[in-house]
Structure 1
Amino acid sequence: MNKFLLVLLFSTAMLQAQTVVEPDSTGVVKSNDSLVVQKTTTRDTVKPFERFKAEGVSAVVGEYVILDSDIDKAYVEMQSQGMSIEDITRCQLMGKLMEDKLYAHQAKQDSIMVPDAEINGMIDQQLQYMIGELGSEEKVAAYYRKDNIADLRRDLFEANKSIKLASLMQQKVIEKVEVTPEEVRTFFFSIPEEERPVFGAEIEIAQIVVDPKITKQAIDEVKGRLNAIRADIIDNGASFSTKAVLYSKDPGSNSKGGLYTGVKRDSPWAKEFKDQAFSLLEGEISEPFETEFGWHLLYVEKIRGQEVDVRHILMFPEVSQKSIDEAQKKIEDLKNQIEAGEISFAEAARKNSDDKETRNNGGQLVNPISFDTKFDLTKMDPTLSQQVYNLKEGEVSEVFTDRDRTGKSSLKILTVTQKYEEHKADFSKDYERIKKLALREKQIKVINKWQNEKIKDTYISINEDYQDCEFAGDWLKK
């Protein structure tokens, strides 16, 4: 791949890695010594180092200060996320950090606002995850070298607000950028044929899902258990949190006593869940209610303006062996009918699949990352990949049991509707992919132009240690 595309792809990665290189987001120090970071192998205009003192100011961008230690911590964060730092120089990280601060500074100048409640909700989720990993608030504070959790929360607030402001500002800069078909064509054919990107093997997949039927008796039993828990809490003062730890089947919250913070009306929760969350008063407990995930009790712990903090208990009705056997027979019969040519896979999915999201489209799966129907075989979910890796086009997989994140089981069959072999980029076949690359290149040009204009009007001070860096932007105002 030529130098132009390498620069494009690197720039794209750096643009998208907002949280990776935002150094203030952790304050991680692994020992009492200065951070030790491996030497880089790429030529850098700042001397490679083994130990770098965590004092001193590297740069000032508007009202924001970038410390030497911030760059060290950026390396640590990249390593902690499994990213290679072999080819990332200090100059490149410094440039990215200055870009982030310029965005945040300009966002304030343009009166772009981020509600404190939104930032606090993000922090609550981060702290819950950290506490879940380390065990207690005290251990989290100690790990991040803070005296207490309040100090860590203050640091996280500033870091998250800076990241959010930068993100909103960047979105504003590129929101109206579009590419015409002629620009896409010019972009593609400007790349020498021998240097055009190679796209990996991809497949399109369809599924049929059959859920074992749940009887009315099983539903009555689970509602009875939830009502008994509700009565014990209301009548006897039992702890909702303790009940959630003991009985809730939601792996995302049961260890936290069923707690979810910062639930909003427009957040992607089930409608029934949000209806309960915003109809109850603080301290009230709902009656048992059903969502697509199961049966719930919900307790409103705190109302904070347009957000609520809730606790919930999730339970599933027991599925009888008879229901499982009936579901197994149904999906095996469908598989036999498809293989015998009596019905197409798509028609069988439309008439019989229990998956609401895919059945009307003949069972066609949508890639949750790219939002199209193609899946890269090397990046697929392992469970999915295992079932389809050796299938030919039109071949139907064996029946298998799949479990969602809540533990609910379904029976499935899959088919490969289309296979795309690894190939060098083709303008006609890969137009949408090429369009995305062309759009990203144009966005980068717009961003660079905007950046250099704002640099001229913003106070910038860079430590002499970085005066020899070859930044992408005119940060040194030469």
Structure 2
Amino acid sequence: MRRFLTILLLLVPGLLRAQSPADDRVLDEIVAVVGNELILRSEVDAFLAGYLQQQRIPYSDELWLEALNQLIDQKVLAEHARRDTTIQISDDRVEQALQERLNQLMQQVGGQTRLEEIYGKTLTQLKAELREDFREQMLAETFRNRKLQQIRITPSEVRAWFEQFPTDSLPTLPDLVRLSHIVRYPRPSEKARQEAFEIASAIRDSIVSGRSSFEDMARRFSEDPGSAAAGGHIPDTRLADLVPEFAAVAARIPIGEISQPFETPFGVHILRVNRRQGDLIDFNHILIRIDESQADPSEAIAYLEAVRDSILQYNIPFGLMARRHSEEEATAAQGGRVVDPRTGERDLVLSALDPTWQRTIDTLEVGEISHPAEAVLLDGRRAYHIVRLDRFVPSHRVSLETDYARIEQLALQEKRQRVLRQWLNELRQSVVIRLAGKARELAERYPDKIVTSTLAQR
């Protein structure tokens, strides 16, 4: 954890100096010892810095102690997990988790080269230094999840939790809907496809001739928002995580060669594979999207009308038809059910949906299926769909009768936090925890903010 947090600290330069006026006096110190493990002040500072930056709130000593508490909790959990011989974290799992996190960091800072420049080490060296820190983190998480799975809540506990709130303080929910849909994308016109291929070919010619670098052309022309700023670079990625059309080219193209333009559902690409190791590839690509405004929707509309007629005339389950015929993979796999991509909730706020959805839903009664209509999907793509209104809950004050599932989740979340905190405090009693430096000073000022073991003398 120590070295991993150092990387995070380096990614937010200047933030800690702005937050902590004492930086000029003390750059680092040991602030806690948990068993045989040290926690440095820089670790706590880095952990807290990310939180402050994300939440956009000012530094406080109490928040610093809370960050220290979380780091102590992780080390206590890891220590107990090591004592539990039934918990084993394989090297493969550690390697996978570490690679995924490094991929995220590389995307944030602009690629592998930039990350190596920031830290002054090669990716191989970073992996070697961070591997055991990740193992500790995974041990702690596994041990904690075992406890979480044991915590349940009964209907009577849900009711008791809800009834503690005065009726006039309960929030009013807006109109909520549950929806299922079947999606078809209009096929781009041949003219639009040809234009995209011509642009990609011209870009490739400029790169191959040496007039421009791949990275420069990606920054100028690529329409992939996730990689354009990094020169089209996407670090180690599994072939299985790529769409089949892209994976087929990436698997066979010689290392360092620039591919001919090829098409995927996202548009037209050119690709350069930098490194291939097993099923992992490191590559740069440039995406030119096909102009959707030139697409002909008639085929998609006719297809959806036929699907709707089959459902209504032959009583075929909507979910079955969605799995067979919807081109939106995420909802098709769930029988067409639409969920909030941020929360996974099925209840969607009607007023928050795109106007194209609202116009379609306004014509439906619960259980009805719309005719094909144009829509801006939740991922921003334009398509046509038929929609079934599965549920409509008008604006109302929260109640157990209409919102039991939502209330149950909130009550369970509160119970889990309470039980976990009590459990963690008990676990701390069997691990020697000593505070020092800034931690000791703040713990004496805020004696109720931190729990140490009875085994240690502070």
What TM-score do the two structures reach when normalised by structure 1? 0.65
Whether 1:174 and 2:153 are equivalent positions in the alignment is no
Q: Which residue of 1 aligns with 2:235?
A: 261
1:470 to 435, 443, 448: 448
CA distance in 1, matches of 2:149, 2:376: 41
User: Judging changes above 3 Å, is the alpha-carbon distance between structure 1 residues 470 and 319 closer, same or farther for their aligned structure 2 residues?
Assistant: closer
Which range moved further: 257-266 or 97-106? 97-106
Q: CA deviation at 1:392?
A: 5.4
Secondary structure of the residue that 1:299 maps to in structure 2?
strand
Deviations 1:117-138 (A, max 9, x none): 7535533532442349xxx95x
Q: Which residue of 1 aligns with 2:158?
A: 188
User: Judging changes above 3 Å, is the alpha-carbon distance between structure 1 residues 281 and 190 closer, same or farther for their aligned structure 2 residues?
Assistant: same
Secondary structure of the residue that 2:226 maps to in structure 1?
coil
User: Judging changes above 3 Å, is the alpha-carbon distance between structure 1 residues 96 and 263 closer, same or farther for their aligned structure 2 residues?
Assistant: same
Q: Which residue of 1 aligns with 2:76?
A: 102
User: Judging changes above 3 Å, is the alpha-carbon distance between structure 1 residues 452 and 385 closer, same or farther for their aligned structure 2 residues?
Assistant: farther
User: Judging changes above 3 Å, is the alpha-carbon distance between structure 1 residues 206 and 471 closer, same or farther for their aligned structure 2 residues?
Assistant: same
1:179-258 counterparts in 2 under 5 A?
Answer: 183-191=153-161, 193-195=163-165, 200-201=173-174, 202-206=176-180, 209=183, 211-216=185-190, 218-219=192-193, 222-223=196-197, 226=200, 239-258=213-232
* Contact map agreement 2:75 2:140 (CA 8 A) in 1: no
Whether 1:441 and 2:415 are equivalent positions in the alignment is yes
Q: CA deviation at 1:253?
A: 1.3
Instruction: Report which of the two has the higher share of helix.
Output: 2
User: Which runs of 5 or more structure 1 residues have no equivalent in the other structure?
Assistant: 1-17, 38-48, 142-146
* Contact map agreement 2:73 2:424 (CA 8 A) in 1: no
Matched residue type, 1:173:
R
Whether 1:308 and 2:281 are equivalent positions in the alignment is yes
User: Which runs of 5 or more structure 2 residues have no equivalent in the other structure?
Assistant: none
Q: CA deviation at 1:299?
A: 1.9
CA distance in 1, matches of 2:38, 2:236: 30
CA distance in 1, matches of 2:452, 2:206: 67
Matched residue type, 2:102:
I
Whether 1:25 and 2:8 are equivalent positions in the alignment is yes
User: Judging changes above 3 Å, is the alpha-carbon distance between structure 1 residues 386 and 57 closer, same or farther for their aligned structure 2 residues?
Assistant: farther
Q: CA deviation at 1:375?
A: 2.4
Matched residue type, 2:281:
V
User: Judging changes above 3 Å, is the alpha-carbon distance between structure 1 residues 457 and 389 closer, same or farther for their aligned structure 2 residues?
Assistant: farther
CA distance in 1, matches of 2:101, 2:334: 35
1:56-205 counterparts in 2 under 5 A?
Answer: 56-82=29-55, 84=57, 89-104=63-78, 112=89, 113=91, 115=94, 118-119=97-98, 122-131=101-110, 137=114, 149-150=119-120, 162=133, 165-175=136-146, 177-178=148-149, 183-191=153-161, 193-195=163-165, 200-201=173-174, 202-205=176-179
Whether 1:366 and 2:339 are equivalent positions in the alignment is yes
Matched residue type, 1:270:
V
Q: Which residue of 1 aligns with 2:19?
A: 35
User: Judging changes above 3 Å, is the alpha-carbon distance between structure 1 residues 35 and 191 closer, same or farther for their aligned structure 2 residues?
Assistant: closer
CA distance in 1, matches of 2:414, 2:142: 13
Deviations 1:123-156 (A, max 9, x none): 3532442349xxx95xx99xxxxx9541798899
Deviations 1:177-212 (A, max 9, x none): 54698x422431443614287684433245565643
Whether 1:294 and 2:294 are equivalent positions in the alignment is no
CA distance in 1, matches of 2:408, 2:378: 34
Q: CA deviation at 1:352?
A: 9.0
CA distance in 1, matches of 2:363, 2:451: 49
Q: CA deviation at 1:260?
A: 0.5
* Contact map agreement 1:249 1:315 (CA 8 A) in 2: yes
Q: CA deviation at 1:279?
A: 3.8
Q: CA deviation at 1:79?
A: 2.7
Q: CA deviation at 1:301?
A: 0.4
What TM-score do the two structures reach when normalised by structure 2? 0.68
Matched residue type, 1:264:
R
Q: CA RMSD of the aligned region, Å? A: 5.3
* Contact map agreement 1:119 1:161 (CA 8 A) in 2: no
Secondary structure of the residue that 2:141 maps to in structure 1?
helix
Deviations 1:240-290 (A, max 9, x none): 334433443212112322210010245x43233334333444324445443
Q: CA deviation at 1:461?
A: 1.5
Secondary structure of the residue that 1:260 maps to in structure 2?
strand
Secondary structure of the residue that 2:354 maps to in structure 1?
helix
1:268-283 counterparts in 2 under 5 A?
Answer: 268-283=241-256
Deviations 1:16-54 (A, max 9, x none): xx9xx96872254537967348xxxxxxxxxxx999955
CA distance in 2, matches of 1:152, 1:105: 30
CA distance in 2, matches of 1:361, 1:121: 26
Which range moved further: 149-158 or 251-260? 149-158
CA distance in 2, matches of 1:377, 1:230: 45
Matched residue type, 1:26:
L
Which range moved further: 240-249 or 388-397? 388-397
Matched residue type, 1:188:
V
CA distance in 2, matches of 1:189, 1:32: 45
Secondary structure of the residue that 2:154 maps to in structure 1?
helix
